[in-house]
């Protein structure tokens, strides 16, 4: 049987796509998931302290509000449970093919279908939605000797809870988003903790707090009230665009707030200096934490800013020649984003790899569709990432366009793809704008590809992206009725 739509991934994007497609009467759907359970990044990231840095009421589907959030900034277990509850509520669970690792997605020109090769067989589909996410493939640091370490090595996104940290000499590479959540949690347990920092991060105070029981009851009784909180939170974050995009000099106020936060929590002037960034706030991911800096007031926690030279059997050797002997080494080093391996597994009409879009070699349309990749759509694709708001808003915006495009394809048994000039115009408009934003002020970040071009961030208000995706513009697309039947 030929699927109408094959969805790859069962995180927010994949579940949202299945729900929205069913709402427009597309039911011949299958979701392919490489793991044994749904949830994507919120299933995989189980490191201590893992939580979202976007408010709970905004970091959730607009059509599936949750009045029972226990914190205004939710922790990983609760977000994962939310996704499982949503899948059950909308009868999505039965669509998921677990332990189906998709290893190749290729367009079959003879049948004018997409052929998916998985670890459990091949499938054919008229349309494909890639919902594998940008933060799905953990990246170990490219440091000489990392394979020689004889202690326990793990990435924060592949946390091994069976590893006993109590009384151990532990090292953490990185001071980014996962490190600032992990370090305070493990610091009281370990004998010693050395945190290796390459570049300090801008850290703002965390405003999260538990939700009162009476608030939960109020939101359950009056859903419009929760909707109002969501809308207020959305517009409050949209104001950040004035600094991120319109005038990066506006970030000075936030930088002052961050410095004051650091000064309150770290009294040692020399240590404070090592924690102070020398780039514009927002150029790299902005972090929030109230307990990261205080962890370094502990006698057993040390900040190491000497560059790492090599990793050896017994630990990490820094450029000053010191060997930091360790029992456990934790890589809080992020993910393959612009070089996500999934992009090299997807090939279009002429065999070109979809990953070329992140390398600037293939134009994209709305960060979602691509010339010569008919009936294939990607969620959280090029230049749809955010530095200030909820990716769920962007995903729902993309799905407005994707569901309309798929309906056009299925109703006419056609191949739908953006025209080359439309995709090039869209891509050029973003690349022309990005250098003048805060992300173009000169820092090195995971938003940039190997050529230094930002192929990750959306450089404008998110409501403008919602406007751009609210309809299917036929003049920007090639719609070609198939020359051969693909019904069986």
**Are 200 and 274 spatial neighbours (Cβ–Cβ below 8 Å)?**
yes
> What are the tens digits of pLDDT across the range 368-407?
999 999 999 999 999 999 999 999 999 999 999 999 999 9
Residue 381 near residue 364 (C-beta atoms within 8 A): yes
Query: How far is 445 from 16, CA to CA, in rounded Å?
Result: 29
Over pLDDT 90: what percentage of the chain? 93
pLDDT at 282: 94
Backbone angles phi, psi at 356, to 5 degrees: -60, -25
- Residue 30 φ/ψ region, left for φ over 0, alpha for ψ in the -120 to 50 degree band, beta for the rest: beta
> In the structure encoding, which two tokens stand for residue 170, read together?
């532990």
CB 204 within 8 A of CB 286: yes
CA distance 258 to 194: 23
Residues 458, 480: Cα–Cα separation, whole Å: 30
**Residue 486 pLDDT exceeds 60:** no
| Burial of 201 from C-beta contacts in 10 A (0-12 / 13-18 / 19+) | buried
**How confident is the model over 75-119, as pLDDT tens digits?**
999 999 999 999 999 999 999 999 999 999 999 999 999 999 999
CA 402 → CA 131, 197, 365, distances in Å?
12, 41, 11
Mean predicted lDDT score pLDDT of the chain: 96
What secondary structure does DSSP assign to 416-476, as a single string?
A: EEE-HHHHHHHHHHHHHHGGGSGGGSS---TTB-TTS-B-SB--S-HHHHHHHTSS--GGG
pLDDT (tens digit per residue) in 438-470: 999 989 999 999 888 999 999 999 999 999 999
Phi-psi region for residue 475, left (φ > 0), alpha (ψ -120 to 50) or beta?
alpha
Q: Using 50, 70 and 90 to split pLDDT, how confident is the model at 241?
A: very high
* 196-210, 351-365, 399-413: least confidently modelled range: 351-365
Tell me if 192 sits within 8 A of 370, measured CB to CB. Answer: no
């Amino acid at each position: 049987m030929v699927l109408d739509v094959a969805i790859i991934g069962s995180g927010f994007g994949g579940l949202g796509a299945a729900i929205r497609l069913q709402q427009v009467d597309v039911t011949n759907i299958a979701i392919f998931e490489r793991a044994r359970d749904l949830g994507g990044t919120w299933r995989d990231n189980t490191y201590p302290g893992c939580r979202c840095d976007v408010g709970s009421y905004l970091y959730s589907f607009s059509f599936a509000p949750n009045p029972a959030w226990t914190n205004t900034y939710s922790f990983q277990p609760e977000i994962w449970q939310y996704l499982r509850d949503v899948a059950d509520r909308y009868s999505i669970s039965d669509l998921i093919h677990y332990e189906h690792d998709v290893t190749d997605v290729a367009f079959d020109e003879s049948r004018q279908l997409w052929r998916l090769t998985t670890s459990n067989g091949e499938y054919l589909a008229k349309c494909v939605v890639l919902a594998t996410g940008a933060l799905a493939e953990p990246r170990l640091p490219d440091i000489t000797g990392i394979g020689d370490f004889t202690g326990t090595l793990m990435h924060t996104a592949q946390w091994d809870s069976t590893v006993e940290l109590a009384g151990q000499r532990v090292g953490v590479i990185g001071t980014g988003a996962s490190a600032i959540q992990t370090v305070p949690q493990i610091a009281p347990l370990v004998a010693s903790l050395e945190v290796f920092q390459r570049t300090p991060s801008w850290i703002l105070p965390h405003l999260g707090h538990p939700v009162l029981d009476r608030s939960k009851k109020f939101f359950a009784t009056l859903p419009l009230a929760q909707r109002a909180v969501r809308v207020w939170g959305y517009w409050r974050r949209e104001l950040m665009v004035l600094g991120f995009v319109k005038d990066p000099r506006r970030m000075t106020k936030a930088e002052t707030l961050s410095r004051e936060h650091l000064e309150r929590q770290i009294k040692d002037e020399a240590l404070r200096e090592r924690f102070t960034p020398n780039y514009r706030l927002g150029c790299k991911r902005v972090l929030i934490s109230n307990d990261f800096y205080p962890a370094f007031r502990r006698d057993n926690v040390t900040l190491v800013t000497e560059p790492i030279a090599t990793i050896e059997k017994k630990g990490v050797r820094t450029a000053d020649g010191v060997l930091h002997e360790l029992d456990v080494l934790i890589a809080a080093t992020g993910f393959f984003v612009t070089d996500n391996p999934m992009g090299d597994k997807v090939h279009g009409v002429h065999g070109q790899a979809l990953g070329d879009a992140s390398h600037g070699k293939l134009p994209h349309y709305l960060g979602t569709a691509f010339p010569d990749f008919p009936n294939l759509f990607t969620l959280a694709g090029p230049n749809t990432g955010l530095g200030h708001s909820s990716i769920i808003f962007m995903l729902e915006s993309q799905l407005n366009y994707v569901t309309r495009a798929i309906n056009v394809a299925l109703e006419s048994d056609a191949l739908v793809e953006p025209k080359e000039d439309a995709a090039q115009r869209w891509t050029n408009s973003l690349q022309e704008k990005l250098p003048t934003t805060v992300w173009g002020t000169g820092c090195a970040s995971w938003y940039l590809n190997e050529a230094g071009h930002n192929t990750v961030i959306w450089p404008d208000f998110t409501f403008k992206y919602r406007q751009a995706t609210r309809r299917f513009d036929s003049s920007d697309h090639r719609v070609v009725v198939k020359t051969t039947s693909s019904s069986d």
